[in-house]
Amino acid sequence: MIALSLAAAGVCTAAVVLSGSGSESPSVPSTCPQRWGGNDFGDWVPAAADIDGVEESLVPGSPVETLICAYPADSAHPGGERLTGSRTLTDQTAAMARDLAYLPVTTAKINRPCTAMGGQIANYLIRFAYPDGRALWVGSAEEVNQCVRTTNGTVGSNAYTGSAITAAYKDGIWRSVPPDDPCWSPGDRKGQDKLMVPGRPGRLTVCRDATYTRPPYRKRHGRDVARALAETLNSLNTVPSQNLCQGIGGAHERGIRLIFDYPEGPAAVVTISMDCIPAINNGLLQANLDDRVRDQILRLAPS
């Protein structure tokens, strides 16, 4: 699940099951389409919006109302799912838009390994309405493998939002449960397509390989250490991430996850695969690990 900074607010919701279509504008439909038009889980909207900021954020600006449209899917035969219902949110819209706006976006299709388990799947379209009458669609999905691309029709994000969207659709409340262990934070933050560690982090947690559970397997550091390491990582030459690496023969060092926390919004996570090239990856960028950076990271890691 994504770790989102969610505000608990009062809720004004209305749940309905739709059986007919309403009027549509040529650009952004005002009601839920009767069928899911994509062939994947998520990664489809009926129309891209002409709204300032859609190139940099899934949900720019300050929408005032949200319409969630649900399309339960068959994992074996994706595409063409029928609309089964919708829910309208008002008081939750600001929090939902803010948290989606924090997610990293790109126009590129980012490769990543995905498992192929079967399970609960549902496509969602989310219509964000603005005070001036304009609107924007976001397409996503809940999928058991959490291997979904969320898009506004212009840019997309591999950050997983499915569980939070399902909760908002079913309960009318936008929320997400943070991981019990900070080392499991998914770490998806806006700007990671341009910098390994964007912005000004306020704290750093260094975690040993997640399969290593004997204490101590994590160690926390303050703002100055976090920003110094972020500066080092941001000085490296990077390439767009393929989320793949080539193993180094004979190397058996445990991996490290760097969790950079911020005063607001989600963490940014960087993984270090010590026995792989390229070793450094934030999900959108990769870089090689030289001895200087390796030594700096190992000094901060738990023993």
Q: Is the pLDDT of residue 227 over 80?
A: yes
Residue 12 pLDDT: 35
Q: Which of 28-32, 53-57, 161-165 has the lowest mean pLDDT?
A: 28-32
DSSP 183: G
Give the model confidence (pLDDT) of 171-222 as tens digits. 999 987 677 788 888 778 999 999 999 999 999 999 987 555 555 688 999 9
Residue located via tokens 């990582």: 233
For the segment 259-290, what is each residue's pLDDT rounded down to a tens digit?
999 998 889 999 999 888 999 999 999 999 99
Q: Given this model, what pLDDT does residue 250 score?
A: 59
Distance, in Å, from the CA atom of 181 to the CA atom of 86, rounded to the nearest integer, reads 34
Tell me which DSSP letter residue 20 carries.
S
The two structure tokens encoding residue 54 = 């859609």
Name which residue leads in pLDDT, 84 or 121.
84
What number is the average pLDDT over the span 242-264? Answer: 83
Question: Distance from first CA to last CA of the chain, Å, rounded?
Answer: 28
pLDDT at 19: 32
CA distance 27 to 51: 12
Residue 197's pLDDT is: 97
pTM: 0.79
pLDDT tens-digit readout, 40-71: 889 999 999 999 999 999 999 999 999 999 99
Q: Is 200 helix (H, G, I), strand (E, B) or coil?
A: coil
Say how far apart CA 72 and CA 70 lie, in whole Å.
Answer: 6
Token pair in block for residue 35: 């069928």
Q: Which residues contact 133 (CB under 8 A, 6 or more apart)?
A: none
